[in-house]
A = this chain, B = another copy of it.
Amino acid sequence: MTMFTRRVLLLIFAAMTAGLAATHSVAQTDPLPSWNDGNAKSAIVEFVKRVTTEGGPDFVPIEERIATFDNDGTLWTEQPNYVQAMFVFDRIAAMAKERPEMKETQPFKAVLEADRATLAALGEQGLVELVTATHSGMSTADFEKTVRDWIATAQHPRFHRPYTALVYQPMLELLAHLRANGFKTFIVSGGGVEFMRPWAEKAYGIPPEQVIGSSGKTAFELNGDKPVINKLPTVEFIDDGPGKPVGINRFVGRRPIFAAGNSDGDLQMLQWTTLDAGPRFALIVHHTDAEREYAYDRHSAVGKLDKALDEAPRRGWLVVDMKNDWRTIYPRR
């Protein structure tokens, strides 16, 4: 190496890293290959470019690049029912094998008999009973194992694939594109935080500490030399609607500059994200593809997309038309 001066080495090094950067940039020419060319795709790419252009008027320092994503219907399929509801039904069936008296007790009877009329008429109290029965009375570790076992085997009734195979490929690319540009990506879901964490890292590349969701109370206990955290039958926090900005404030402590949702449960998160100075971006996934996924505009069994859709044009929120904007829906088998 003595034939090279330090300066020559540094020049070579600079040239090589420039070469590496160039290669990298070529590979990134289309960061969103599952998005069809059009307004949606270019709006996203353009926004990311603006906030990451150093010296530009809209540059955002890396630590402030916070992006929050709803989960059900935004990152994975939520029809014909929330995946967590499917989990509840399956758990109740499993529990009834050991506790046959559940077969004669509402609201469990309705679940076990798939009695849609009774289920549809269940008030909040009945739903809380179903969730409580399946989500409390065990340690967090035991619950996590139950979720892992279930998600590994359960299948979607129409697509006959595991639910984690029914995540949206275009959204996976969007998450990856944001992260490649210094964003920290969070899930902010009405779903249970302890239901999502066991599989979110593998499915989305989002670690447990970046998953925000609804939760029940828990309590720490030391049994001899074995510490456990027990799940109690009390709702602690509903991370939905106005709860989403509250959850973001509590867990992240910074205001996002990018948010994605698909229902009125995301309305306040989109408002909180966009209604402030500086570059901000919000998108709504509009389910318009009955053939490849589901089409369910403003009202469906799992919720409404009504106020948020009305507000979108006024606020400049991007409405993603799943049928036309997405080349692919799910990852290849």
Cβ-defined contact, A268 with B215, below 8 A: no
Q: Which of A8-16, A48-56, A85-93, A156-164 lines the interface with chain B?
A: A8-16
Check if A182 is an interface residue, CB within 8 A of chain B. no
B249 contacts A218, CB within 8 Å? Answer: yes
Q: Are B209 and A254 in contact (CB under 8 A)?
A: yes
In the complex, which residues of chain B have a beta carbon less than 8 angstroms from the beta carbon of A112?
none
* CB <8 Å contact, B275 and A227: yes
Q: Find out whether the CB atom of A242 lies under 8 angstroms from the CB atom of B268.
A: no
Contact with B along A238-250 (1 / 0, CB 8 A): 0000111110011
Chain B residues near A245 (CB, 8 Å)?
Answer: 220, 227, 229
Given known A201-B63, A245-B229, contact A222–B268 (CB-CB < 8 A)? yes
Q: Which of chain B's residues has its CB closest to A268's CB?
A: B220
Chain A residues 197-256 with CB under 8 Å of chain B are 197, 201, 207-211, 215, 218-220, 222, 225-227, 229, 242-246, 249-254
Q: Is the CB of A249 within 8 A of B271?
A: no
Q: Tell which of B9, B208, B222, B276 touches A253, judged by Cβ atoms closer than 8 Å.
A: B208
Chain B residues closer than 8 Å to A66, beta-carbon distance: 209
Q: Closest CB of chain B to A69's CB: distance in Å?
A: 15
- Confirm or deny: A59 has a beta carbon within 8 angstroms of a beta carbon on chain B: no
Query: Which residues on B sit within 8 Å (CB–CB) of A27?
Result: none
Asked if A227 and B12 sit within 8 Å, CB to CB, the answer is no
CB contacts (< 8 Å) of A119 on chain B: these are none
Q: Which residue of B lies closest to A10 (CB)?
A: B16
Instruction: Please tell me how many copies of the chain the complex holds.
Output: 2
Q: How far is the CA of A14 from the CA of B222 in the complex (A)?
A: 51
B220 touches A252 (CB 8 A): no
Name the residue on B nearest A196 (C-beta).
B253
Residues of B within 8 A of A294 (CB): none
State how many residues of chain A have any CB contact under 8 Å with chain B: 45
- A1-B15, A12-B9, A253-B193 known; A275 vs B229 contact (CB < 8 Å): no
Tell me the bound Cα distance from A219 to B268 in angstroms.
11
Q: Considering only CB atoms, which chain B residue lies closest to A63 in the complex? A: B207
Q: Within the complex, which residue of B9, B220, B271 is in contact with A16, where a contact is CB–CB below 8 Å?
A: B9
Q: How distant is the Cα of A150 from the Cα of B49 in the complex, in angstroms?
A: 37
Within 8 A of B (CB), among A269-310: 271-272, 275-276
CB closest residue in chain B, given A218 = B246
Partner of A222, one of B4, B211, B271: B271
A:1-29 near B, CB below 8 Å: 1, 4, 9, 12-13, 15-16
Q: Apart from A12-B13, A209-B252, A211-B253, what 20 extra A-B contacts exist at CB < 8 Å?
A: A4-B12, A9-B16, A12-B12, A13-B16, A140-B249, A208-B252, A208-B254, A209-B210, A209-B251, A209-B253, A218-B249, A219-B246, A220-B243, A220-B244, A220-B245, A220-B272, A222-B271, A226-B275, A227-B272, A229-B246
Q: List 29 A–B pairs whose Cβ atoms lie within 8 Å, in order of A's numbering.
A: A1-B12, A1-B15, A4-B12, A9-B16, A12-B12, A13-B13, A63-B207, A66-B209, A193-B250, A197-B253, A208-B252, A208-B253, A208-B254, A209-B252, A209-B254, A215-B250, A218-B246, A218-B249, A218-B250, A219-B242, A220-B242, A220-B268, A220-B272, A222-B271, A225-B275, A226-B275, A227-B271, A227-B272, A229-B245
